A and B are shown apart, each in its own frame.
Chain A
Amino acid sequence: MTDIIDTLAGLAPDSPLAQIRDRKPITRDQAQTSYRALFEPADTTDVSLQERFAVATFVAALHAQPEPTAFYAALLSRTDAPEAFTAALNAEIAAARATGPYGAYPEGPLSAEDVSGPTYAVTNTQALGPRLSAVLAHAHMLVFHPRDANGPALQALLDAGWSNTGIVTLSQLVAFLAFQIRAAAGLRVLAASVP
Protein backbone atom coordinates (compact mmCIF):
# COMPACT_ATOMS: atom_id res chain seq x y z
CA MET A 1 0.00 0.00 0.00
CA THR A 2 1.27 3.48 -0.84
CA ASP A 3 2.42 5.62 2.05
CA ILE A 4 -0.32 8.14 2.78
CA ILE A 5 1.93 10.90 4.17
CA ASP A 6 4.23 10.63 1.12
CA THR A 7 1.13 10.80 -1.08
CA LEU A 8 -0.30 13.84 0.69
CA ALA A 9 3.11 15.56 0.66
CA GLY A 10 3.67 14.76 -3.01
CA LEU A 11 6.91 12.85 -2.31
CA ALA A 12 8.04 10.29 -4.89
CA PRO A 13 9.39 7.07 -3.27
CA ASP A 14 12.99 7.81 -4.30
CA SER A 15 12.91 11.54 -3.56
CA PRO A 16 15.46 12.92 -1.06
CA LEU A 17 12.84 13.50 1.65
CA ALA A 18 11.29 10.05 1.18
CA GLN A 19 14.80 8.66 1.69
CA ILE A 20 15.19 10.69 4.89
CA ARG A 21 11.84 9.26 6.05
CA ASP A 22 13.11 5.76 5.19
CA ARG A 23 15.85 6.13 7.81
CA LYS A 24 13.15 6.02 10.49
CA PRO A 25 11.00 3.12 9.35
CA ILE A 26 9.10 2.86 12.63
CA THR A 27 7.89 6.46 12.42
CA ARG A 28 6.85 5.87 8.81
CA ASP A 29 5.18 2.49 9.45
CA GLN A 30 3.38 3.49 12.62
CA ALA A 31 1.99 6.69 11.07
CA GLN A 32 0.63 4.44 8.33
CA THR A 33 -0.64 1.89 10.88
CA SER A 34 -2.39 4.76 12.68
CA TYR A 35 -4.12 5.73 9.45
CA ARG A 36 -5.24 2.15 8.92
CA ALA A 37 -6.47 1.77 12.51
CA LEU A 38 -8.76 4.76 11.99
CA PHE A 39 -9.78 4.43 8.36
CA GLU A 40 -9.58 0.67 7.74
CA PRO A 41 -10.76 -0.35 11.21
CA ALA A 42 -11.36 -3.91 12.31
CA ASP A 43 -14.46 -2.81 14.22
CA THR A 44 -17.00 -0.20 13.09
CA THR A 45 -19.56 -0.83 15.86
CA ASP A 46 -19.07 2.57 17.51
CA VAL A 47 -18.15 4.73 14.49
CA SER A 48 -19.11 3.84 10.91
CA LEU A 49 -16.79 4.27 7.95
CA GLN A 50 -19.02 6.93 6.45
CA GLU A 51 -18.91 8.87 9.74
CA ARG A 52 -15.11 8.58 9.82
CA PHE A 53 -14.67 9.88 6.28
CA ALA A 54 -17.25 12.65 6.74
CA VAL A 55 -15.42 13.92 9.84
CA ALA A 56 -12.06 13.58 8.07
CA THR A 57 -13.28 15.55 5.05
CA PHE A 58 -14.53 18.31 7.36
CA VAL A 59 -11.29 18.41 9.39
CA ALA A 60 -9.00 18.36 6.34
CA ALA A 61 -10.99 21.15 4.70
CA LEU A 62 -10.76 23.31 7.85
CA HIS A 63 -6.97 22.99 7.62
CA ALA A 64 -7.28 24.46 4.09
CA GLN A 65 -4.88 21.85 2.71
CA PRO A 66 -6.09 20.80 -0.76
CA GLU A 67 -4.42 17.37 -0.99
CA PRO A 68 -5.82 15.85 2.22
CA THR A 69 -9.20 17.46 1.59
CA ALA A 70 -9.44 15.83 -1.85
CA PHE A 71 -8.07 12.56 -0.45
CA TYR A 72 -10.69 12.19 2.30
CA ALA A 73 -13.53 13.56 0.16
CA ALA A 74 -12.78 10.82 -2.39
CA LEU A 75 -12.93 8.18 0.34
CA LEU A 76 -16.23 9.64 1.59
CA SER A 77 -17.71 9.48 -1.90
CA ARG A 78 -16.87 5.75 -2.03
CA THR A 79 -19.22 5.14 0.92
CA ASP A 80 -22.19 6.03 -1.31
CA ALA A 81 -22.96 9.17 0.64
CA PRO A 82 -26.08 10.75 -0.90
CA GLU A 83 -25.50 13.94 -2.88
CA ALA A 84 -27.65 15.97 -0.48
CA PHE A 85 -25.47 14.79 2.41
CA THR A 86 -22.22 15.77 0.69
CA ALA A 87 -23.68 19.13 -0.35
CA ALA A 88 -24.78 19.78 3.24
CA LEU A 89 -21.32 18.83 4.53
CA ASN A 90 -19.64 21.19 2.06
CA ALA A 91 -21.96 24.02 3.11
CA GLU A 92 -20.99 23.40 6.75
CA ILE A 93 -17.29 23.49 5.84
CA ALA A 94 -17.73 26.90 4.23
CA ALA A 95 -19.48 28.20 7.36
CA ALA A 96 -17.01 26.64 9.81
CA ARG A 97 -13.73 28.18 8.64
CA ALA A 98 -11.73 30.01 11.30
CA THR A 99 -8.14 30.70 12.37
CA GLY A 100 -6.62 28.93 15.38
CA PRO A 101 -5.46 28.16 17.95
CA TYR A 102 -7.70 30.31 20.13
CA GLY A 103 -9.61 29.76 23.35
CA ALA A 104 -9.64 30.48 27.07
CA TYR A 105 -7.42 29.28 29.92
CA PRO A 106 -8.67 28.36 33.40
CA GLU A 107 -9.31 31.71 35.10
CA GLY A 108 -6.08 33.15 36.46
CA PRO A 109 -2.82 34.70 35.26
CA LEU A 110 -3.13 33.11 31.80
CA SER A 111 -6.52 34.76 31.23
CA ALA A 112 -4.52 37.67 29.77
CA GLU A 113 -3.63 35.27 26.92
CA ASP A 114 -7.24 34.26 26.19
CA VAL A 115 -8.02 34.64 22.49
CA SER A 116 -11.64 34.87 21.39
CA GLY A 117 -13.03 33.06 18.37
CA PRO A 118 -16.21 31.49 17.08
CA THR A 119 -18.05 28.54 18.59
CA TYR A 120 -19.49 26.54 15.73
CA ALA A 121 -22.68 24.53 15.51
CA VAL A 122 -24.06 22.73 12.45
CA THR A 123 -26.87 24.63 10.69
CA ASN A 124 -28.29 21.83 8.57
CA THR A 125 -28.79 19.20 11.27
CA GLN A 126 -31.66 17.77 9.22
CA ALA A 127 -29.41 16.62 6.39
CA LEU A 128 -26.49 15.53 8.58
CA GLY A 129 -28.39 14.00 11.49
CA PRO A 130 -27.90 14.55 15.24
CA ARG A 131 -24.90 12.22 15.67
CA LEU A 132 -22.75 13.70 12.94
CA SER A 133 -23.90 17.26 13.73
CA ALA A 134 -22.71 16.83 17.32
CA VAL A 135 -19.36 15.44 16.28
CA LEU A 136 -18.70 18.14 13.66
CA ALA A 137 -19.19 20.81 16.33
CA HIS A 138 -16.75 18.95 18.55
CA ALA A 139 -14.25 18.46 15.71
CA HIS A 140 -14.35 22.20 15.01
CA MET A 141 -13.37 22.88 18.62
CA LEU A 142 -10.56 20.32 18.50
CA VAL A 143 -9.21 21.80 15.26
CA PHE A 144 -9.36 25.49 16.17
CA HIS A 145 -9.74 25.95 19.94
CA PRO A 146 -8.82 22.76 21.76
CA ARG A 147 -8.10 24.55 25.04
CA ASP A 148 -11.83 25.34 25.30
CA ALA A 149 -12.59 21.61 25.63
CA ASN A 150 -14.52 20.57 28.73
CA GLY A 151 -16.61 17.76 30.17
CA PRO A 152 -19.95 19.16 28.97
CA ALA A 153 -18.65 19.02 25.37
CA LEU A 154 -18.25 15.25 25.82
CA GLN A 155 -21.67 15.03 27.47
CA ALA A 156 -23.14 16.60 24.32
CA LEU A 157 -21.61 13.75 22.30
CA LEU A 158 -23.01 11.14 24.71
CA ASP A 159 -26.41 12.82 24.51
CA ALA A 160 -26.25 12.63 20.70
CA GLY A 161 -25.86 8.87 20.95
CA TRP A 162 -22.07 8.35 20.86
CA SER A 163 -20.60 5.73 23.19
CA ASN A 164 -17.55 6.30 25.42
CA THR A 165 -15.51 4.16 23.04
CA GLY A 166 -16.88 6.01 20.02
CA ILE A 167 -15.81 9.32 21.56
CA VAL A 168 -12.29 7.99 22.13
CA THR A 169 -12.11 6.84 18.50
CA LEU A 170 -13.44 10.15 17.15
CA SER A 171 -11.06 12.15 19.37
CA GLN A 172 -8.15 10.07 18.08
CA LEU A 173 -9.35 10.52 14.50
CA VAL A 174 -9.48 14.31 14.66
CA ALA A 175 -6.23 14.53 16.64
CA PHE A 176 -4.44 12.11 14.30
CA LEU A 177 -5.48 14.20 11.31
CA ALA A 178 -4.03 17.29 13.03
CA PHE A 179 -0.73 15.35 12.97
CA GLN A 180 -0.95 13.74 9.54
CA ILE A 181 -2.00 16.92 7.74
CA ARG A 182 0.82 18.92 9.39
CA ALA A 183 3.45 16.26 8.74
CA ALA A 184 2.49 16.20 5.06
CA ALA A 185 2.22 19.99 4.78
CA GLY A 186 5.62 20.46 6.41
CA LEU A 187 7.28 17.90 4.12
CA ARG A 188 5.66 19.50 1.06
CA VAL A 189 7.06 22.91 2.01
CA LEU A 190 10.49 21.44 2.76
CA ALA A 191 10.57 19.49 -0.52
CA ALA A 192 9.87 22.70 -2.45
CA SER A 193 12.59 24.68 -0.61
CA VAL A 194 15.79 23.86 -2.42
CA PRO A 195 18.76 25.13 -0.40
Chain B
Amino acid sequence: MTEAIVTHPDNHEPTEFTLAMLDWLPWLEPPAEADLTPRQRDSLVDNARSKSAYFRLLARDPDILEARTRTDKDIFFNTSSGLPRAERELAAAATSRHNGCIYCASVHARHAITYSKRSEDVRRLLATGVTANLGERWNAIVAAAVALTATPIEFGPGHVTRLREAGLGDAEIVDVINASAFFNWANRLMLSLGEPAAAAK
Protein backbone atom coordinates (compact mmCIF):
# COMPACT_ATOMS: atom_id res chain seq x y z
CA MET B 1 0.00 0.00 0.00
CA THR B 2 1.35 3.41 -0.93
CA GLU B 3 1.06 5.80 1.98
CA ALA B 4 -0.12 9.38 1.52
CA ILE B 5 0.47 12.62 3.33
CA VAL B 6 -2.18 14.28 5.47
CA THR B 7 -3.31 17.73 4.29
CA HIS B 8 -5.00 20.55 6.19
CA PRO B 9 -6.67 22.65 3.48
CA ASP B 10 -8.71 24.69 5.98
CA ASN B 11 -5.75 25.67 8.14
CA HIS B 12 -4.42 29.21 7.93
CA GLU B 13 -0.80 29.07 9.06
CA PRO B 14 0.32 31.94 11.29
CA THR B 15 2.15 34.51 9.18
CA GLU B 16 4.01 36.30 11.98
CA PHE B 17 6.18 35.38 14.93
CA THR B 18 3.95 35.37 17.98
CA LEU B 19 3.90 34.70 21.70
CA ALA B 20 0.50 33.03 21.34
CA MET B 21 0.08 29.31 22.08
CA LEU B 22 -0.01 27.50 18.75
CA ASP B 23 -1.22 24.11 17.65
CA TRP B 24 0.69 21.84 15.23
CA LEU B 25 -0.79 19.64 12.50
CA PRO B 26 1.17 16.64 11.18
CA TRP B 27 1.71 15.89 7.47
CA LEU B 28 2.17 12.18 8.15
CA GLU B 29 -0.31 10.06 10.10
CA PRO B 30 0.76 9.62 13.74
CA PRO B 31 -0.21 6.42 15.51
CA ALA B 32 -3.52 6.81 17.37
CA GLU B 33 -3.13 7.12 21.13
CA ALA B 34 -4.79 3.73 21.67
CA ASP B 35 -2.46 2.07 19.17
CA LEU B 36 0.82 3.12 20.80
CA THR B 37 2.94 0.10 21.76
CA PRO B 38 4.41 -0.05 25.28
CA ARG B 39 7.82 0.84 23.81
CA GLN B 40 6.32 3.84 21.99
CA ARG B 41 4.61 4.98 25.21
CA ASP B 42 7.89 4.75 27.10
CA SER B 43 9.66 6.74 24.39
CA LEU B 44 7.36 9.71 25.05
CA VAL B 45 9.03 10.02 28.50
CA ASP B 46 6.09 12.15 29.77
CA ASN B 47 2.72 10.34 29.59
CA ALA B 48 0.94 13.59 28.74
CA ARG B 49 2.80 13.70 25.43
CA SER B 50 0.54 10.93 24.10
CA LYS B 51 -1.98 13.74 23.47
CA SER B 52 0.48 15.47 21.11
CA ALA B 53 0.35 14.55 17.41
CA TYR B 54 3.98 15.70 17.10
CA PHE B 55 5.32 13.30 19.73
CA ARG B 56 3.06 10.43 18.59
CA LEU B 57 4.39 10.86 15.04
CA LEU B 58 7.99 10.83 16.30
CA ALA B 59 7.15 7.70 18.33
CA ARG B 60 7.19 5.80 15.02
CA ASP B 61 10.93 5.57 15.80
CA PRO B 62 10.88 5.29 19.60
CA ASP B 63 14.61 4.85 20.23
CA ILE B 64 15.63 8.17 18.71
CA LEU B 65 12.58 9.95 20.15
CA GLU B 66 13.42 8.90 23.68
CA ALA B 67 17.10 9.89 23.40
CA ARG B 68 16.13 13.19 21.72
CA THR B 69 13.72 14.02 24.54
CA ARG B 70 16.18 13.19 27.32
CA THR B 71 18.88 15.27 25.58
CA ASP B 72 16.45 18.18 25.25
CA LYS B 73 15.33 18.07 28.89
CA ASP B 74 18.85 17.96 30.31
CA ILE B 75 20.17 20.76 28.08
CA PHE B 76 17.33 23.05 29.13
CA PHE B 77 16.28 21.96 32.63
CA ASN B 78 19.56 20.93 34.27
CA THR B 79 20.62 24.16 35.94
CA SER B 80 22.99 22.49 38.42
CA SER B 81 25.73 24.46 36.66
CA GLY B 82 26.16 26.78 33.71
CA LEU B 83 23.85 29.31 32.08
CA PRO B 84 20.60 30.52 33.70
CA ARG B 85 17.50 28.90 32.21
CA ALA B 86 16.32 32.23 30.75
CA GLU B 87 19.40 32.52 28.56
CA ARG B 88 19.16 28.94 27.34
CA GLU B 89 15.61 29.77 26.26
CA LEU B 90 16.89 32.96 24.64
CA ALA B 91 19.38 30.93 22.58
CA ALA B 92 16.56 28.53 21.58
CA ALA B 93 14.26 31.40 20.62
CA ALA B 94 16.98 33.18 18.62
CA THR B 95 17.89 29.97 16.78
CA SER B 96 14.21 29.36 15.97
CA ARG B 97 13.76 32.98 14.85
CA HIS B 98 16.76 32.67 12.51
CA ASN B 99 15.74 29.32 11.02
CA GLY B 100 12.17 30.57 10.68
CA CYS B 101 10.32 28.16 12.97
CA ILE B 102 7.29 30.17 14.06
CA TYR B 103 6.02 27.37 16.30
CA CYS B 104 9.33 26.76 18.14
CA ALA B 105 9.99 30.49 18.50
CA SER B 106 6.60 31.00 20.14
CA VAL B 107 7.21 28.31 22.77
CA HIS B 108 10.73 29.37 23.69
CA ALA B 109 10.04 33.09 23.57
CA ARG B 110 7.32 32.46 26.16
CA HIS B 111 9.76 30.46 28.28
CA ALA B 112 12.41 33.19 27.92
CA ILE B 113 9.92 35.74 29.25
CA THR B 114 8.83 33.46 32.10
CA TYR B 115 12.40 33.01 33.32
CA SER B 116 13.81 36.49 32.53
CA LYS B 117 10.76 38.73 33.01
CA ARG B 118 12.15 40.70 30.03
CA SER B 119 8.97 40.72 27.96
CA GLU B 120 9.86 43.81 25.91
CA ASP B 121 13.22 42.45 24.84
CA VAL B 122 11.81 39.06 23.85
CA ARG B 123 8.97 40.72 21.92
CA ARG B 124 11.55 42.81 20.08
CA LEU B 125 13.52 39.66 19.15
CA LEU B 126 10.38 38.15 17.62
CA ALA B 127 9.24 41.34 15.88
CA THR B 128 12.56 42.70 14.61
CA GLY B 129 14.60 39.54 14.32
CA VAL B 130 18.04 38.48 15.49
CA THR B 131 19.60 41.94 15.01
CA ALA B 132 17.33 43.49 17.68
CA ASN B 133 19.29 45.35 20.37
CA LEU B 134 18.68 43.46 23.64
CA GLY B 135 21.62 44.74 25.68
CA GLU B 136 25.16 43.45 25.24
CA ARG B 137 24.95 40.18 27.20
CA TRP B 138 21.84 39.03 25.36
CA ASN B 139 23.16 40.40 22.05
CA ALA B 140 26.30 38.30 22.48
CA ILE B 141 24.23 35.16 23.17
CA VAL B 142 21.94 35.80 20.19
CA ALA B 143 24.91 36.49 17.88
CA ALA B 144 26.58 33.25 18.96
CA ALA B 145 23.37 31.25 18.45
CA VAL B 146 22.86 32.77 15.00
CA ALA B 147 26.46 32.11 13.92
CA LEU B 148 26.18 28.51 15.06
CA THR B 149 22.89 28.19 13.16
CA ALA B 150 24.38 29.27 9.83
CA THR B 151 25.30 26.51 7.38
CA PRO B 152 28.26 26.31 6.94
CA ILE B 153 28.74 27.18 10.61
CA GLU B 154 30.04 30.73 11.18
CA PHE B 155 30.66 30.49 14.93
CA GLY B 156 34.28 31.49 15.58
CA PRO B 157 36.78 32.82 18.13
CA GLY B 158 35.26 36.31 17.92
CA HIS B 159 31.95 34.98 19.24
CA VAL B 160 33.71 33.29 22.15
CA THR B 161 35.58 36.50 23.00
CA ARG B 162 32.37 38.49 22.93
CA LEU B 163 30.61 35.99 25.22
CA ARG B 164 33.54 36.08 27.65
CA GLU B 165 33.54 39.88 27.65
CA ALA B 166 29.82 39.74 28.41
CA GLY B 167 30.64 37.72 31.53
CA LEU B 168 30.13 34.11 30.44
CA GLY B 169 32.53 31.40 31.59
CA ASP B 170 33.31 28.25 29.64
CA ALA B 171 30.52 26.16 31.26
CA GLU B 172 28.03 28.87 30.31
CA ILE B 173 29.35 29.09 26.75
CA VAL B 174 28.97 25.31 26.46
CA ASP B 175 25.31 25.79 27.41
CA VAL B 176 24.86 28.45 24.69
CA ILE B 177 26.38 26.01 22.18
CA ASN B 178 24.18 23.11 23.32
CA ALA B 179 20.96 25.14 23.43
CA SER B 180 21.49 26.56 19.96
CA ALA B 181 22.74 23.28 18.51
CA PHE B 182 19.77 21.43 19.97
CA PHE B 183 17.30 23.85 18.40
CA ASN B 184 18.85 23.21 15.03
CA TRP B 185 17.60 19.67 15.63
CA ALA B 186 14.16 20.64 16.98
CA ASN B 187 13.44 23.34 14.36
CA ARG B 188 14.05 20.92 11.50
CA LEU B 189 11.59 18.34 12.84
CA MET B 190 8.88 20.91 13.59
CA LEU B 191 9.27 22.67 10.24
CA SER B 192 9.39 19.58 8.06
CA LEU B 193 6.85 17.13 9.52
CA GLY B 194 3.84 19.41 9.89
CA GLU B 195 2.56 22.96 10.10
CA PRO B 196 1.60 25.40 12.87
CA ALA B 197 -1.99 26.45 13.41
CA ALA B 198 -3.77 28.92 15.64
CA ALA B 199 -4.70 27.07 18.84
CA ALA B 200 -8.28 25.86 19.03
CA LYS B 201 -10.37 28.40 20.93
Contact = CB atoms under 8 A, between A and B. Distances in A.
Q: What DSSP secondary structure best describes chain B's contact surface?
A: helix
B67 A37 contact: yes
B123 interface: no
Given A34-B71, A168-B193, 18 more contacts: A17-B170, A26-B74, A63-B151, A63-B152, A106-B14, A149-B192, A153-B192, A163-B3, A168-B57, A168-B58, A169-B60, A172-B68, A175-B186, A175-B192, A182-B180, A185-B153, A186-B148, A189-B156
B181 A193 contact: no
B36 interface: no
Contacts of B24: none
Contacts of A136: none
Given A165-B60, A181-B153, A187 B177 contact: yes
Interface in A145-195: 146-147, 149-155, 158-159, 163-165, 167-169, 171-176, 178-183, 185-187, 189-190, 192-193, 195
Interface residues of B, number: 71
A26 B78 contact: yes
A63 to B, nearest CB: 6
Interface of B: 2-7, 13-17, 27-29, 57-58, 60-61, 63-68, 70-71, 73-75, 78, 80-82, 98-102, 129, 148-153, 155-157, 159-161, 164, 170-171, 173-174, 177-178, 180-182, 184-189, 191-193, 195
A187 B174 contact: yes
Contacts of A17: 170, 174
Contacts of B148: 182, 185-186
22 contacts: A20-B171, A27-B71, A37-B61, A37-B67, A101-B100, A103-B100, A142-B188, A146-B101, A146-B191, A147-B101, A154-B5, A154-B192, A164-B3, A164-B29, A168-B193, A172-B64, A175-B189, A176-B68, A178-B188, A187-B174, A189-B157, A193-B157
Q: What DSSP secondary structure best describes chain A's contact surface?
A: helix
Residues of A in contact with B, size category = 35 or more
A172 B186 CA distance: 9
Nearest to B65: A172
Interface of A: 16-17, 20-21, 23-24, 26-27, 30-31, 33-34, 36-38, 41-42, 62-65, 98-101, 103, 105-110, 113, 141-144, 146-147, 149-155, 158-159, 163-165, 167-169, 171-176, 178-183, 185-187, 189-190, 192-193, 195
